[in-house]
Amino acid sequence: MQQEASSAPRNIRYEADDKPPIALTAGLGLQFAILAIAGIVLTPAIVIRAAGGTDEYLTWAVFAAAAICGVSTILQAVRLGRIGAGYVLLMGTSGAFIAVCVTALEQGGPGLLATLVVASSLFQFLLAAKLSLFRRLLTPTVAGTVVMLIAVTVMPLVFNMVAASPEGSSSWSAPASTLTAMGVIIVIALTATRSMRLWAPVIGIAAGSVVAAMFGLYDTDQVVDAAWIGLPDGGWPGFDFSFGGHFWGLLPAFIFVTLIGAVETIGDSVAIQRVSWRRPRAIDYRAVQGAVAADGTGNLLSGIAGTMPNTTYSTSISITELTGVAARRVGVAIGVSFVVMAFVPKVLALVLAIPDAVVAAYLTVLLALLFVVGMRMVIDDASDYRRSLIAGVSFWIGVGFQNGQVFPEYLEGFAGGFLENGMTTGGLTAIALTLFTELTGSRRSRFRSELSITELPRIREFLGEFTERNGWNPSMKERLDAVAEETLLTLLDDEDSTGGTDNDTSRTLRLTASKQDGHAVLEFVAAASEENLEDRLSVLATQAVGLPLERDISLRMLQHHASEVFHQQYNDLDIVTVHIKPLEPAASPEPAN
């Protein structure tokens, strides 16, 4: 059962609420920042170089990206109101935006890119506020399919970076630099210890840059000429408020990629909660909403500054699990380190001087791992043939559109050309098919009333009709009645404990009943409360059997009848989902011979 999860303590040195020593906090913050700064700087560099942007704009975009990633990382850790997760979540420039950002720069320059990023970030705030409404649509199958298609859309850009050596250099310069960097990264990743693997990208890039320097590809003058402290020479690019055809053609793609980035943030914010406490806790979706809102804030600031959008980096989870340090003040230290690096041009120049061939090697390994992450998301979620079919069909449709193989004579230029992006087309297909399965699946029975014990007779009548319609026996009806009563009493207990007993503030109950894989699934939706049922059930499961507290009797009964209990807490809603498995009929005794 979900509520019987292991309560064995994890190897966490400092939990999220703890305050480790200042020296340890600063040291870890700087170390994590060094690991992430290459990705933060190289991603906008890849985009701007691929789009033929100016060096002045490149230096500005990199400076703004580092500074804003620092601010948004701090915001994730400290949590201001409903913005921020309250956990260590590194924020960095998003690789998912590479393809659409290149197109925006080619079609309208930095002003168009800035306007599109600001406009699309507003939808992320909407998603954060109403996350509970999208829980059945933005599934891991949809997100995993899009993550796999990110690699499909970006890899052609990477191959172009390795296709030819720079003019005037040896024909072996680019291949040698690429193979060296890629080989070092892969060898370390496959053979080194867990802590050493975190440094594989940094060591590989350094090795590739050394080889590139031997061929004269590494621009050491750029590093020497850069100041130690200062602002970039390039200035703010401004906005493009013409709102022409390019804007409206690219806006759907930007919105879609923004939503997919939000799905990635949701996954990271769930995972970081699992590794930040010694004893397992139920996932707090209010923290997930805060993480998405902070992500949207970072994207809004990125658009205002005229640089690429950012997102959470999944390395936050692996680093936290490795070090055992989940304290929020470490997240603040990481953010401060990013901001300081932004105002040290020599550090940024050191990364910007890395040749395209070495950057391509780093990006190849990164995209390969990203593809596998997406594939794992799909495999873990595709428990039946429907989700498997959605993922397979959507992926290959995306590949076909990306390569211009699907009715190119009819779709070329249609809707501003955004259907030519495989990630957008495949993702929209996955969402459409998921919506279709939701609409055509087993019919859900719905009931609505006040959250009050006086509504129990009506709830029992509703569940009786649901039981008869599905052909279950009277014993199943009794179990559903018991589950509904105990869940209702528990929700009312939460209401009393939070002072919500006033008739003017009474909560509304929405009950949904459905049949899934032979099980009955009851979903109780009410206004938000404070306590999480999963946490309370977990505590009950570890208590010695004895005389329970009066407030725990309903929980023990619920634990007895249900096979699984999930409690998702959002800023606006509580959603308690209970799975009830029908009892197997007793075996008939064999007749005596």
- pTM tops 0.75: no
Average pLDDT, integer, range 214-230 = 74
Cβ–Cβ < 8 Å for 157, 99: yes
Residue type, 114: A
Q: Residue 557: which pLDDT band, with cuts at 50, 70 and 90?
A: low
Nearest to 402 by CA among 386, 389, 381, 418: 418
11-41 per-position pLDDT tens digit: 677 888 888 888 888 887 887 787 677 778 8
Q: Do residues 218 and 353 make contact, with C-beta atoms less than 8 angstroms apart? A: yes
pLDDT digits (tens, 9 = 90+) for 344-381: 888 777 777 778 778 778 778 777 776 776 787 677 76
More confident residue, 247 or 571: 247
Reduced to 3 states (helix: H, G, I; strand: E, B; else coil), residue 435 is: helix
- State the chain's mean pLDDT as an integer: 77
**Coil, helix or strand at residue 473:** coil
Beta strands in 517-557 (DSSP E): 519-527
DSSP label at 522?
E
Kindly report, residue by residue over 562-586, the tens digit of the pLDDT: 777 777 777 767 788 888 887 665 4
Instruction: Give me the mean pLDDT over the 228-238 stretch.
Output: 77
Backbone angles phi, psi at 94, to 5 degrees: -90, 125
C-alpha separations of 327 from 313, 317, 331, 544 in Å? 17, 13, 7, 32
The string of pLDDT tens digits covering residues 461-489 is 999 888 888 888 888 888 888 888 888 88
159-163 own/partner pairs: CB under 8 Å, 24+ apart: 159/360, 160/50, 161/46, 161/50, 161/356, 161/357, 161/359, 161/360, 161/363, 162/356, 162/357, 162/360, 162/361
Exposure class string for 544-575: b at 16+ Cβ within 10 A, else e: eeeeeeeebebbbbbbebbeebbbbbbbebbb
Q: Pick the residue with more confidence: 280 or 186? A: 186
Alpha-helix runs per DSSP H in 498-532: none
Which CATH number is associated with domain 445-541+548-580? 3.30.565.10
Round to the nearest angstrom and report the end-to-end CA distance of the chain. 41
Structure confidence by residue, pLDDT tens digits, 309-336: 988 887 677 677 666 778 888 899 999 9
Domain ranges of the chain: 12-438, 445-541+548-580
pLDDT in tens, 47-59: 888 888 888 888 8
Pairwise pLDDT comparison (26 vs 543), residue with the higher score: 26
**If pLDDT is split at 50, 70 and 90, which confidence band does 296 have?**
very high
* Range in 174-178, 223-227, 399-403, 527-531 the model is least confident about: 527-531
Q: Percent of the chain having pLDDT more than 90?
A: 7
- Percent helix, strand, coil in the chain (nearest 5)? 65, 10, 25
Residue 545: its pLDDT value, please?
43
pLDDT at 118 over 90: yes
Cα–Cα distances (Å) from 369 to 150, 186, 265, in that order, read 11, 11, 17
State the Rg of the chain over Cα: 27
Tell me the CA distances in angstroms from 536 to 202, 532, 541, 543, one per residue in order: 44, 7, 9, 11
